[in-house]
Amino acid sequence: MELVLKLADLFRVRVAALVGEDPDAPGEDPAMIAMFKDLKQLDDRDRGTIAALMEQMKRRGAKGAG
């Protein structure tokens, strides 16, 4: 983690931007940004529920692609 922090400092970017997970990056879908910001307002239990639903949907999508 220390290396990632140093690289982010070197390039003067946030760690999220360095690893490609910056919801505020140019070109991101405004609806996705709004959903991300809404998630931050939920408690841990509700975020866990959403995460479980997303994993289930990703697995279902992967089965349909194969």
In whole angstroms, give the CA distance from residue 37 to residue 19. Answer: 19
pLDDT band for 66, please (50, 70, 90 cuts): low
If 0-12 CB within 10 Å is exposed, 13-18 middle and 19+ buried, where does residue 13 land? middle
- Say how far residue 60 (Cα) sits from the centre of its chain: 20
Is the pTM for the entire model greater than 0.75? no
Count the neighbouring beta carbons within 10 Å of the beta carbon of residue 7. Answer: 13
pLDDT tens-digit series, residues 3-45: 988 988 998 988 888 777 777 778 878 888 788 888 989 999 9
With DSSP H G I counted as helix, E B as strand and the rest as coil, what are the percentages for the chain, rounded to 5? 70, 0, 30
